[in-house]
């Protein structure tokens, strides 16, 4: 009888133990599947032929060499509820609306991402190729234009395929965020580059933050890092393909962490230059400085992000001022050459033919919230004033991206628009816009950011008075 009872007790205990183990295992699997997932992919996008380089209208012939390869890289994210986000970074000068819309529409149709869930960012290197849809200030040679068209078709295919590869590689991960710092950006509006070596004090607003997003696998091993900086990628001005300082920073980080994918995104760097500049060695120096700042953040304690994605997106009409008078346009035709003369002639022809002149532009505004990490992503060449203002409103931890989803022109603040200069008054010519922005541009953009941020549940810690 006692022996029978003992066997029964042991059997019951074993059944109970098996149940506990099964329950625990199931919970572990459930917890793993309910956390972050991420997949990373990359593809070389260096042109396979000599073609025109974007960024400087003064160049007079196509590229003739390569310093290092250009890359497109993607990270696909998924939270515990299946919400998704996709960050694509590229060693390109910019994405015009034509190609950006085609790429994002195909990603939506093929993989189910919404516009709100896709950020398409360019590093703004001035040593990358011209792509189709950019306002043509470079070449009218039919053979060169065909190279641009052909490359753009290939680029589109590569990026769409890249996204699929990132999705296929998704595994359970952990996400972390933090800001670092490095100080090679110089406000180009407030400091004379020609006399920089004699200056004992630099002037003008800056934002030296290095936003860092770290991705580790289930064992804690680093698999990807996305990092940014707000500074023009204009150390180099020659005729060789190169990612400039951002390209060298990615290379350096991938040397420090073999097997890791390092992704650079451009911030609000439209009025910030890497100074001094002009040599590959300076580009390497700035790249190492940025990589060191990023690596320091990776090796220190970072904020762990809860697996929740919120994304919001809209396109708002930014109003353009009235075009110049016919007399002023005629004066530009007489006194200028190259793309400025072409711009004035085209606008004069439209006015004389009675064709409608663009009065606004659909401007992309985007908000992500990854856990408690807010990210503001805006189109155009965004000046540093916006990053400073957003950090005043939302706090210093926020990440701010410019050059995202569409680069249609410089995006000046109200102060810069009033001051004038290239960023405020004349840069629209290089983008083919018929006029400068209206004075309410900053108020409209910040107002829409605030609206989307509130929808995304991002708290405001500062004043929201944007009337200036």
The domain ranges of the chain are: 36-309+367-404, 321-353
- Quick check: 25 pLDDT over 60? no
pLDDT, position 63: 98
pLDDT, position 14: 41
Tell me phi and psi for residue 251, to 5 degrees.
-60, -45
Rounded mean pLDDT, 66-91: 98
If phi over 0 gives left and psi between -120 and 50 gives alpha, with beta otherwise, what is residue 62?
beta
**DSSP helix/strand/coil, 47:** coil
Mean pLDDT of the chain: 92
Bigger pLDDT: 388 vs 10: 388
Predicted confidence band at 21 (pLDDT cuts at 50, 70, 90)?
A: very low
pLDDT above 90: percentage of residues in the chain? 89
| CA of residue 403 relative to chain centroid, distance | 5
Predicted confidence band at 463 (pLDDT cuts at 50, 70, 90)?
A: low
Neighbours of 56 (CB within 10 A): 14
pLDDT, position 109: 98
- Asked if residues 266 and 305 have their Cβ atoms less than 8 Å apart, the reply is no
Task: Render pLDDT for 263-314 as a digit per residue (tens, 0 to 9).
Answer: 999 999 999 999 999 999 999 999 999 999 999 999 999 999 999 999 999 9
The token pair at 186 is 């110089």
Instruction: Give the separation between CA 176 and CA 111, rounded to whole angstroms.
Output: 26
pLDDT, position 464: 56
The token pair at 231 is 């500074």
**Closest to 155 in 3D by CA, of 93, 99, 104:** 99
pLDDT, position 136: 86
**Closest to 310 in 3D by CA, of 69, 135, 81:** 81
Task: Render pLDDT for 387-406 as a digit per residue (tens, 0 to 9).
Answer: 999 999 999 999 999 999 99
What is the DSSP-derived secondary structure letter of residue 271? T
The token pair at 306 is 């809860």
| CA of residue 209 relative to chain centroid, distance | 15
The residue count of the chain comes to: 468
Q: Which residues contact 363 (CB under 8 A, 6 or more apart)?
A: 315, 316, 317, 318, 378, 379, 380, 406, 408, 411, 445
- Quick check: 159 pLDDT over 90? yes
pTM here?
0.92
pLDDT, position 12: 52
Q: Cα torsion at 107, 110, 112, 116 (round to 10°)?
A: 10
pLDDT, position 465: 55
**DSSP helix/strand/coil, 255:** helix
């Amino acid at each position: 009888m006692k022996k029978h009872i003992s066997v029964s007790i042991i059997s019951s205990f074993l059944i109970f133990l098996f149940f506990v183990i099964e329950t625990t295992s199931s919970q572990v699997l459930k917890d793993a599947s309910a956390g972050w997932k991420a997949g990373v992919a990359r593809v070389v996008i260096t042109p396979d032929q000599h073609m025109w380089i974007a960024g400087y209208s003064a160049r007079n012939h196509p590229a003739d060499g390569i310093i290092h390869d250009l890359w497109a890289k993607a990270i696909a994210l998924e939270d515990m509820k299946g919400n998704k986000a996709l960050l694509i970074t590229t060693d390109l000068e910019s994405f015009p609306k034509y190609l950006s819309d085609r790429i994002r529409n195909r990603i939506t149709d093929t993989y189910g991402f919404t516009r709100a869930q896709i950020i398409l960012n360019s590093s703004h290197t001035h040593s990358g190729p011209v792509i189709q849809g950019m306002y043509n200030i470079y070449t009218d040679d039919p053979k060169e234009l065909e190279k641009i068209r052909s490359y753009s078709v290939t680029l589109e295919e590569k990026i769409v395929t890249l996204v699929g590869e990132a999705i296929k590689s998704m595994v359970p991960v952990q996400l972390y965020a933090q800001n670092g710092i490095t100080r090679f950006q110089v406000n180009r509006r407030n400091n004379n580059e020609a006399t920089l070596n004699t200056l004992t004090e630099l002037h003008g607003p800056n934002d030296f933050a290095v936003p860092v997003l770290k991705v580790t696998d289930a064992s804690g091993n680093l698999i990807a890092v996305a990092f940014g900086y707000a500074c023009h990628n204009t150390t180099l001005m020659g005729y060789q393909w190169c990612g400039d300082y951002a390209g060298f920073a990615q290379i350096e980080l991938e040397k420090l962490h073999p097997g890791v994918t390092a992704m650079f995104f451009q911030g609000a760097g439209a009025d910030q230059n890497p100074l001094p500049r002009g040599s590959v060695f300076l580009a390497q120096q700035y790249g190492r400085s940025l990589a060191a700042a990023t690596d320091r953040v990776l090796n220190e304690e970072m904020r762990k992000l809860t697996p929740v994605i919120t994304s919001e997106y809209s396109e708002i009409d930014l109003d353009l001022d009235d075009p110049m008078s016919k007399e002023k346009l005629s004066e530009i035709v007489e006194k200028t050459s190259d793309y400025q003369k072409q711009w004035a002639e085209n606008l004069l022809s439209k006015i004389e033919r009675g064709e409608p002149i663009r009065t606004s532009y659909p401007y992309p505004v985007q908000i992500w919230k990854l856990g408690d990490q807010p990210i503001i992503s805006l189109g155009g060449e965004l000046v540093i004033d916006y990053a400073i203002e957003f950090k005043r409103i939302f706090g210093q931890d926020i990440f701010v991206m410019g050059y995202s989803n569409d680069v249609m022109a410089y995006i000046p603040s109200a102060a810069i628009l009033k001051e004038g200069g290239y960023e405020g008054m004349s840069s629209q010519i290089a983008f083919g816009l018929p006029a400068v922005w209206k004075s309410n541009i900053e108020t409209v953009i910040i107002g829409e950011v605030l609206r989307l941020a509130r929808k995304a549940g991002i708290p405001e810690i500062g004043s929201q008075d944007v009337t200036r």
